[in-house]
Structure 1
Amino acid sequence: MTQGTAVRPLAGAWAVAVGLIIALPWLGASGATLRLVTLVAILALVVSGLNLTLGYAGELALAQVPIYAAGAYATGYLATAVINDLLVAMAASVLVAVLVGVVTGLPGLRLGGWTLAITSFFVVLLIPSIVNAFGDRLGGYEGMIGIPAPAVFGIDLDGPAFYVVVIAVTALWFVIFRNIAVSRHGASLLVLKQSPILAAAVGTSPHGTKIVAYAIGAVPAGIAGCFAAYVDAYLSPLTFGLELSIIILAAGILGGPTSVYGAIIGAAIMQIGPLRVTVFDKYALVAYGVFLIIGGLLLRNGLAGVTTRLVGRLKVRRRREAATADPHAADGTAVDLPAVDGQPLAVRGVTKRFGGNLAVDGVSFDALPGQITALVGPNGSGKTTIMNLISGYYSADAGTVTLGDRVVSGLPAHRVARRGVGRTFQTPLIPQGLTVADTIITGRLGSHPVSLLATALRLPRHWKALAEERRGSREIMRALGLDRYADLPAAELALGTRRLLELGRAIAGGSALVLLDEVASGLDEEDIQGLVRVLTKMRAAGVTVVLVEHNFSLVKAVADSIVVLAEGQVIATGTPAQIAADPTVVRTYLGAGGEITGTRVTAERTAGEKAGQA
């Protein structure tokens, strides 16, 4: 998502490269060379769709071949039986491809991993039978012949004209692909790839995002199918088989599945190399397997990733040196979080059963804006279950959860998030491929939507939203002391920093309620002191905070009220002082003879409160 000064040089280099390729017919290139470049462009289009669904969204929806075939046969049928117009054929091929892409991807709403991949490969095996079922209209097993040369508005695209159209359209698609990949929509795909649970937590629908990924990934395959139908004026169902699926997969992995331009690299290698060598046919499957191993195991993110890592390491090294040069230069101690319109949370009689186990039994409590309400209790007391019930990951068997004047119980998790509920997780969920600044911005995905069209075409709405996102991200990073890490890879940071980053993401969308699930787990004392400062800022900003925590010294330091749970029931509520003095709580929470301490953290909070009063 981060776009810096490197964008203009990259755009200039891309324009020069595309211009040179388009000019090949006038630079003396042979017909065979032009055909080879055309085939590279067609394969790159198909591979780019796979990169989007597999590389970015993490979906093993490997139905690119059926989608490609659908686009090709749609063009073949239109050109031979209805109207021979390239623009009409391209539009029709895209529509049919998107339909096939969504339909073949629908199993991914319930299936995942290799189960979805096997389902996709099964569809590939059905292509000859489906084509034959349409009889002479699609040519049957013998193939469709006699596809005329392409035309636009009745003008034949003879000579280099069709070649120019193929290269220009391919170049335009890759510009759009890049615009999507480096935007909030690309970030939403990476969030989904990391975890559907995280996707829902930031307010995006996992199912909706998957469908969008299937649809967008089908667009370039449909365009490629349109071009392929015209290239040879012949279509055979045997062309669209498992071997082609493996070629596309190998090109994607070898070039780089999470690289925009890796699709071009992989397609060029496959077309210029093995697909041009006749003797290769005998050992094709073995060679494809080698390519998959090289790309998947030895080259993280393919060949494109090699260059990216070399350049990235230099940038990261300079950024880390700048970040650590003066560790106290931007610790956020004097910067407040933006004010938030916190909403009261009311949990009333909530009950949840898992089979015969009663996990939560009639729990009721309130959490108020500008206060921190802590849920404490032994393992298995129902704390995390209550958090999941509030978030919408679980549906309550009885009772209600109300935020402000709206009942949120019963809503799916992504809709609960859009109502103003942010949260963190016991193990930080930080997507690979995003910087710290971009990770914070993902907290706005559900609450501040921007259309895919505005993003892809870089319309004014996109730039306005981007400016707002960057400004909000900077404010939060300064308040949390994360601004010196802004451009560093978020997933590579230390645990304590990642936990603070999750807090920043949770409040980035202006959440009225933030749920913190064991946010201090695994932190050292210095990190906990920093966490206390951040939680104090959240309280001052007006956020309603519900904290699940085993570290009772931290709870005493920051909580305004405490709800004690045991065996799914509330056994006590009160202020930290009241709870610490309750013998039943001490016996239940720490065991007989236990003592609740935490003087160092508590002392810091007391000193902070005195400073605030002064």
Structure 2
Amino acid sequence: MAALWLKLRAVPGWLWPLAIGAVLLVLPFLGLNYGATRQIELTLILALIVLGLNLSLGYAGELAMGQVAMYAAGAYAAGLANKAGVTDIWLQLLIGGGAALIVGLISGIPGLRLGSWSLAMTSFFLILIVPDVLSIFKEETGGRNGLAGIMPATSFGQMIDGRTYYVLIVAIAIVVFALIRNLVVSDHGTALRVLKQSPVLASSMGISVFRAKLTAYAIGAVPAGIAGVLFANLDLFISPEAFAFSFAMTVLAASIFGGSASIYGALIGAAVLQFGMNQSTNFSKFGLIISGAFLLIGGVAFTGGLSGLVRSLVRKADIAAKRRVGIEPVPAAPADVERLDGALLRTDGVSKAFGGNQALSKVSIEAAPGAVTAIIGPNGSGKTTLLNMISGFYRTDAGTIELDGRPIQGLSSYRVARAGVSRTFQTPNIPEKLTVFEAVQAGCYATERASVFASVLRLPSFWRARRENRAAAERALALVGLSAQRDEPADSLPLGNRRLLEVARSLAASPQVVLLDEVASGLDEDELEVLESLVRRLRDAGMTVILVEHNFQLVLRLADDIYVLAQGAVMAHGTPEQIESNPRVMEEYLGVTAETNAAGGGDHE
């Protein structure tokens, strides 16, 4: 049984939904009645709207209900184009999709610029003003009476009958779902999931937070616009009631119940809501109550909706089947560190204050390629603040930061990452719902990635970038000894492995400079040996390594150059031998006086 399960799991995942789509295509030819085919048509139209919401909500983490307004834009754009003489369905799809995209950009740019809940509020008010906008232009749109007189659609001059239109809706839904699925499983989709977990982490990996969120929101508008075109040509009449707030709640309920972080969750949720609403003869009266009930069920009873529940059960079945069959872990890729071109990183007189607290005061350090530069000091001395300034998360009050002579202190954090500076964090920042391999591969986003267009259409540049990124991720995993855990959920790893995972992610893009922020904290002896060996190999390969660490003995073993910070300023600078023999460092950093040090024989552990 376990072997059969693993054989079924070996089948490409996209084949199953494609098979379902093929079945839907032939149902009318098998005698399915009009009532059932209409429900399938309405389900697929609703699924397209939910699909767009899932892209912005489930993947980018932005609650935006504006898909209904984009749905209305697509429907009315198609209806008005039809009345103007454009009856060809393919031209209407272009017009409706374009209209929805424009609405998405107009509402998304200011909402995302303001941040926080601004996009949710912007999109919420967008839904509320749809009837008023239609009333203002009632001569063209019919106002609250609706837009009538739409002619039946044609395709290249040929009239489309009811059965052909059903096939057209199913085929269009299959294509749209396939294209969005291509985006979601690409590096851009992984970037969106990282962004949802932590914008700070995303920025450190070279992801532009604003651009990624706007891209997800704008692309998500297109399926809603397409759904509007299909809806307008279904009944040849458009009413403002079809885009009311209650329908927006239905879309949100379908997303949450089906699983917002899932492409096919959109179809599941739409099917449940559409067929469930069809069973209620008083839906118009109790629509909000029904939608609210599904929201509660999906949000409380199922973590991640129905698709999340299915995904969890499948993962457990995979683990059980592999244990029974006795599948061995994937062998590690070669762990050789290739020659790396590090960069000279220099800070000159860097200062930073937070209110009345002077975190850094005229700090100047220099980290050379092929060397480990350590920054040590007591808690609150400004070590992490300095790393945050180098990474672009904080702006300098004074001073400069240069990378091979190029100033980077004015760059945003994602641009600093793309310039070749990678880092880890004091507290490991591990995205949810990613495997170990996916989390490491996400680190490649700062360098080698295909465009959104190439990823959606699977152009040659996508496959080339995919091969290179997968190879880089395999090497990085092997370097930290996590190849055997590559398929495990990244957020399920123990603390020590999480820190090594962060190191692997920071190395995946072969940066010029790597900033290691207390990376040894929580590691056991074996993990510490792996880390030490790796840092030495990175140094010998030519990388610039900056190590912030409290483990003094580890610093003495690894560092070529040490800077000691105290109260935001450089207190001492020198080689490990010089720092170890510096009485002020011993006293202020380790709490060891010169007399105690002499009596103890210099044992600082």
TM-score by length of 1: 0.92
Alignment of 1:214-225 (within 5 A): 214-225=217-228
Residues 1:34 and 1:540: Cα distance change in structure 2 (over 3 Å): same
- Following TM superposition, by how much is the alpha carbon of 1:81 offset from its aligned partner in structure 2, in angstroms? 2.2
Matched, 1:531 2:543: no
**Residue type matched to 2:529 in 1?**
Q
For residues 336-392 of structure 1, give each alpha carbon's deviation from its aligned partner in whole angstroms, at most 9, with x where no partner exists: 333321111111111122233322111111111121111111222111111111111
Match of 2:79 in 1: 76
Give secondary structure in 2 for the equivalent of 1:144. coil
**Residue type matched to 1:60 in 2?**
L
- Following TM superposition, by how much is the alpha carbon of 1:320 offset from its aligned partner in structure 2, in angstroms? 8.0
What is the aligned counterpart of 2:171 among 168, 177, 195?
Answer: 168
Match of 1:423 in 2: 423
Give secondary structure in 2 for the equivalent of 1:200. helix
Match of 1:272 in 2: 275
Residues 1:273 and 1:331: Cα distance change in structure 2 (over 3 Å): closer
Counterpart CA distance in 2 for 1:586 and 1:11 is 61
Residues 1:141 and 1:175: Cα distance change in structure 2 (over 3 Å): same
Match of 1:608 in 2: none
Match of 1:207 in 2: 210
What is the aligned counterpart of 1:227 among 226, 230, 238?
Answer: 230
Match of 1:606 in 2: none
Match of 1:256 in 2: 259
- Following TM superposition, by how much is the alpha carbon of 1:111 offset from its aligned partner in structure 2, in angstroms? 4.4
Give secondary structure in 1 for the equivalent of 2:79. helix
Matched, 1:346 2:343: no
Alignment of 1:50-61 (within 5 A): 50-61=53-64
Counterpart CA distance in 1 for 2:601 and 2:144 is 77
Counterpart CA distance in 2 for 1:156 and 1:571 is 82
- Which shows bigger deviation, 573-582 or 44-53? 573-582
Match of 1:137 in 2: 140
Q: Which runs of 5+ in 2 are unaligned?
A: 1-6
| Pairs aligned (count) | 596
Matched, 1:376 2:379: no
CA contact (8 A) 1:374 1:559 kept: yes
Give secondary structure in 2 for the equivalent of 1:235. coil
Counterpart CA distance in 1 for 2:195 and 2:15 is 32
CA contact (8 A) 1:349 1:362 kept: yes
- Which shows bigger deviation, 569-578 or 152-161? 152-161
Give secondary structure in 2 for the equivalent of 1:573. strand
Superposed CA RMSD: 2.6
CA contact (8 A) 1:338 1:476 kept: no
Residues 1:112 and 1:295: Cα distance change in structure 2 (over 3 Å): farther
- Which shows bigger deviation, 124-133 or 112-121? 112-121
- Following TM superposition, by how much is the alpha carbon of 1:521 offset from its aligned partner in structure 2, in angstroms? 2.6
Match of 1:442 in 2: 442
Match of 1:566 in 2: 566
- Which shows bigger deviation, 516-525 or 176-185? 516-525
Counterpart CA distance in 1 for 2:284 and 2:136 is 30
Counterpart CA distance in 2 for 1:314 and 1:337 is 37
- Following TM superposition, by how much is the alpha carbon of 1:470 offset from its aligned partner in structure 2, in angstroms? 1.5
Counterpart CA distance in 2 for 1:21 and 1:65 is 25
What is the aligned counterpart of 1:186 among 185, 189, 203?
Answer: 189
CA contact (8 A) 1:319 1:487 kept: no
- Following TM superposition, by how much is the alpha carbon of 1:323 offset from its aligned partner in structure 2, in angstroms? 11
- Following TM superposition, by how much is the alpha carbon of 1:209 offset from its aligned partner in structure 2, in angstroms? 0.4
Alignment of 1:435-514 (within 5 A): 435-514=435-514
CA contact (8 A) 1:331 1:480 kept: no
Percent identity reads 45
What is the aligned counterpart of 2:246 among 239, 243, 246?
Answer: 243
- Following TM superposition, by how much is the alpha carbon of 1:319 offset from its aligned partner in structure 2, in angstroms? 6.2
**Residue type matched to 2:315 in 1?**
G
CA contact (8 A) 2:376 2:550 kept: yes
CA contact (8 A) 2:113 2:210 kept: no
Counterpart CA distance in 2 for 1:506 and 1:148 is 58
Residues 1:108 and 1:196: Cα distance change in structure 2 (over 3 Å): farther
Counterpart CA distance in 2 for 1:5 and 1:391 is 45
- Following TM superposition, by how much is the alpha carbon of 1:110 offset from its aligned partner in structure 2, in angstroms? 3.8
Matched, 1:396 2:420: no
Alignment of 1:515-526 (within 5 A): 515-526=515-526
CA contact (8 A) 1:56 1:258 kept: yes
- Following TM superposition, by how much is the alpha carbon of 1:511 offset from its aligned partner in structure 2, in angstroms? 0.2
Counterpart CA distance in 2 for 1:513 and 1:362 is 22
For residues 553-589 of structure 1, give each alpha carbon's deviation from its aligned partner in whole angstroms, at most 9, with x where no partner exists: 2222221111011121111101122112111112221
Give secondary structure in 2 for the equivalent of 1:519. coil
Counterpart CA distance in 2 for 1:386 and 1:352 is 9
CA contact (8 A) 2:187 2:449 kept: no
